[in-house]
Amino acid sequence: MSWAGRVLEFLALGFVLALGVLVFAVLAMFVIDRTQTGDAIRRNYPVIGRFRHLFTTLGEFFRQYFFAMDREEMPFNRAQRDWVSRSSEGKGNTIAFGSTRNLNVPSTPIFVNAAFPPLDDQFAKTEPMCIGPYARHPYNAPSIFNISGMSYGAISRPAVEALSRGAAEAGIWLNTGEGGLSPYHLAANCDIVYQIGTAKYGLRDENGNLSEDKLRAIAANPQIKMFEIKLAQGAKPGKGGILPASKITPEVAEIRGIPMGKDSFSPNRHPEVDNWEDMLDLIHRIREVSGKPVGFKTVVGAPEPFHDLFRAILARGIESAPDFITIDGGEGGTGASPMPLMDLVGMPIREAMLMVSDLRDIYGLHDRIRLIASGKLVNPGDVAWAIATGADFVTSARGFMFALGCIQALKCNRNTCPTGITTHDPHLQKGLVVERKYKRVAAYARAVISEVEMIAHSVGVAEPRQMRRRHVRIVQPDGSSKPMSEIYPRSAPLSTES
């Protein structure tokens, strides 16, 4: 037999064997599906019923790439992600042929352009703002836009390092998240906000309580500029943090002070804090030991707790106030969370920011307590809106995840992130090259700040913090728009006798 004939014979034999294996596999699946009792579809429709689960799993990815329009996806649409991607690469963000945004959707903010905006030589760069005037070491924060809390452990080593180096490059602060301070946060000389979660990771003694010795040692690092006490976060208001066992490496365990091999759960609140009086005591304690400004992060549920907080502050004296309050939106965040909490608990940032800003000013604490807005604020319009409502600073986590290369694979709560951002799998982490990604982080931050300043100039003010509610109109259900200052008018401050 010729050489060609032998090849054909070999190929034919291989085909028959492959066909036999395929037939055997189909028969095996048929028997398994027909006899199993857990899935009615597979029992009634053996083999082909398996495609339902496959298509359901793949559906979210097909919708993302092929079927959803630019403004349709959740939690972030393609237009939002593409803007971050282009700005991270330093590419132009100009578009042509008109906006794809539907400006008739109720609650859409529209900025009011000035008839005679400032000329190029009348612009002003945003000035640094002091936080914590009563601390021994106040923080003169240079940037209006900064990196929100993402813990080492929840995100990977190269992700933290890229964020650190990018923050230093752009001159913005980096929040550690509740997972403690890692060597990778210190990879560059960036400003750091140390978040103290309910489990006191990185600052806990052998009983899980706050260790003043560890606090003092951490605060001695000049990169640590502030401490943020986490009461609640948007992903899971009323529930502590969750770090799956699959993400707990020996290094993560050592930094946090937790055991290997099992999920790590934080308490749903600080055990020693039962009311606002206790909270103000804790703020004072941390500020006295550390010498640094101290504030807290929370999700808004109703106005009454903030009335109680501000009354307690006035009763004690304004020096007892938190130096800042971070308001997170209840619409969810980067953390793993039960769906009912992610979907249904806590006010969205669009309502919460207005409420807390008003209450702070009513009680005469505008110049004492800085407000930081957080929660799905990733594009310049989001940041500009927050500042117009009263925020002094804006922080973002997911925006910077997109800058790192996040593709919204929705696997943050597993150890299988395909971009290496939220996984400790060394093979997957190889995709995140720090030397490239930190430049994207810095470029994204600069682009947001630059375009927020551009919006401010467009509405007729010299810099972003001069924007007010009158500079924004809100689309109403009938398609018309009204000034935000009419829909949400500010109240006069309380008199000193109140």
How many angstroms separate the CA atoms of 117 and 136, rounded?
Answer: 41
Burial of residue 56, with CB atoms counted within 10 A of its CB: 0-12 exposed, 13-18 middle, 19 or more buried: exposed
Mark whether 205 and 319 lie in a shared domain.
yes
205-224 pLDDT, tens digit per residue, is: 888 889 999 999 999 999 99
How many angstroms separate the CA atoms of 491 and 298, rounded?
Answer: 23
**The pLDDT of residue 497:** 43
Determine, yes or no, domain membership for 381.
yes
**The pLDDT of residue 61:** 63
Mark whether 28 and 157 lie in a shared domain.
no
Task: Give the single-character DSSP code of 460.
Answer: T
Last residue of a domain, one of 48, 67, 86: 67
Determine, yes or no, domain membership for 332.
yes
Q: Which amino acid is at 11?
A: L
Last residue of a domain, one of 67, 87, 103: 67
Determine, yes or no, domain membership for 93.
no
Other beta carbons less than 10 A from residue 22's beta carbon: 10
CATH number at residue 124: 3.20.20.70
* Beta strands, E only, 187-249: 191-196, 224-230, 242-243
110-122 pLDDT, tens digit per residue, is: 999 999 888 877 7
Mark whether 217 and 298 lie in a shared domain.
yes
Mark whether 37 and 168 lie in a shared domain.
no
Mark whether 210 and 138 lie in a shared domain.
yes
pLDDT averaged over every residue in the chain: 85
The pLDDT of residue 229 is above 70 = yes
Nearest by Cα to 381 from 453, 465, 475, 325 = 453
The pLDDT of residue 409 is above 80 = no
Cα angle 137, 215, 336 (rounded to 5 degrees) comes to: 105
Q: Cβ(273)–Cβ(261) under 8 Å?
A: no
Beta-carbon contacts of residue 18 (< 8 Å; ≥ 6 apart): none
Beta-carbon contacts of residue 266 (< 8 Å; ≥ 6 apart): 178, 197, 198, 199, 201, 240, 241, 242
The pLDDT of residue 85 is above 80 = no
**The pLDDT of residue 255:** 84
What does each C-alpha distance from 349 to 79, 170, 301, 376, 412 come to in angstroms? 20, 26, 11, 8, 22
**The pLDDT of residue 469:** 94
The pLDDT of residue 426 is above 50 = yes
Nearest by Cα to 327 from 413, 270, 239, 392 = 392
How many angstroms separate the CA atoms of 161 and 164, rounded?
Answer: 5
**The pLDDT of residue 124:** 74
The pLDDT of residue 496 is above 70 = no
Mark whether 132 and 17 lie in a shared domain.
no
Q: Mean pLDDT lowest for which of 22-31, 248-257, 272-281, 294-303? A: 248-257
More confident residue, 198 or 141: 141
Mark whether 306 and 370 lie in a shared domain.
yes
Mark whether 407 and 259 lie in a shared domain.
yes
**The pLDDT of residue 335:** 57
What does each C-alpha distance from 46 to 25, 39, 50, 372, 480 come to in angstroms? 12, 10, 8, 55, 55
Task: Give the single-character DSSP code of 185.
Answer: T
Range of the domain at 390: 120-487
**The pLDDT of residue 98:** 65
Is the bond leading into 75 cis (omega within 30 degrees of zero)?
Answer: yes
Q: Do the bridges between strand 324-328 and strand 370-374 make them parallel or antiparallel, or are there none, so unpaired?
A: parallel
Determine, yes or no, domain membership for 99.
no
**The pLDDT of residue 411:** 67
Which residue carries 């109680």 as its tokens?
308
Nearest by Cα to 464 from 389, 371, 359 = 389
Token pair of 55, please? 């298509």
Mark whether 262 and 370 lie in a shared domain.
yes
How many angstroms separate the CA atoms of 278 and 344, rounded?
Answer: 28
Determine, yes or no, domain membership for 256.
yes
Q: Label residue 264 by pLDDT band (50, 70, 90).
A: confident
Q: Mean pLDDT lowest for which of 60-64, 88-92, 452-456? A: 60-64
Q: Mean pLDDT lowest for which of 61-75, 180-194, 308-322? A: 61-75
- What is the model's pTM? 0.84
381-401 pLDDT, tens digit per residue, is: 999 999 999 999 999 998 998
- 3-class SS of residue 215: helix
**The pLDDT of residue 63:** 60
Mark whether 136 and 233 lie in a shared domain.
yes
- 3-class SS of residue 322: coil
**The pLDDT of residue 340:** 61
Q: How many domains does the chain have?
A: 2
Nearest by Cα to 188 from 210, 166, 206, 205 = 166
Determine, yes or no, domain membership for 191.
yes
Last residue of a domain, one of 67, 82, 112: 67
More confident residue, 254 or 138: 138
Other beta carbons less than 10 A from residue 150's beta carbon: 29
**What residues does 174 pair with on adjacent strands?**
147, 192
Task: Give the single-character DSSP code of 19.
Answer: H
How many angstroms separate the CA atoms of 205 and 279, rounded?
Answer: 20
Determine, yes or no, domain membership for 96.
no
The pLDDT of residue 77 is above 90 = no
The pLDDT of residue 498 is above 50 = no
pLDDT cut 90: percent of the chain above it: 47
152-170 pLDDT, tens digit per residue, is: 888 889 999 999 999 999 9
Which residue carries 């924007």 as its tokens?
467
Nearest by Cα to 39 from 172, 351, 204, 47 = 47
Mark whether 59 and 164 lie in a shared domain.
no
Mark whether 63 and 124 lie in a shared domain.
no
Beta-carbon contacts of residue 168 (< 8 Å; ≥ 6 apart): 188, 189, 190
What does each C-alpha distance from 252 to 151, 153, 243, 262, 438 come to in angstroms? 10, 6, 10, 13, 22
**What residues does 264 pair with on adjacent strands?**
243
Structure-derived torsion over alpha carbons of residues 54, 55, 59, 63, reported in degrees to the nearest 10: 140
**The pLDDT of residue 333:** 61
**The pLDDT of residue 16:** 82
Q: Mean of the pLDDT values across residues 222-251?
A: 79
Q: Cβ(477)–Cβ(107) under 8 Å?
A: no
Q: Do the bridges between strand 324-328 and strand 294-299 make them parallel or antiparallel, or are there none, so unpaired?
A: parallel
Q: Cβ(363)–Cβ(314) under 8 Å?
A: yes
How many angstroms separate the CA atoms of 458 and 477, rounded?
Answer: 26
**The pLDDT of residue 213:** 94
Determine, yes or no, domain membership for 111.
no
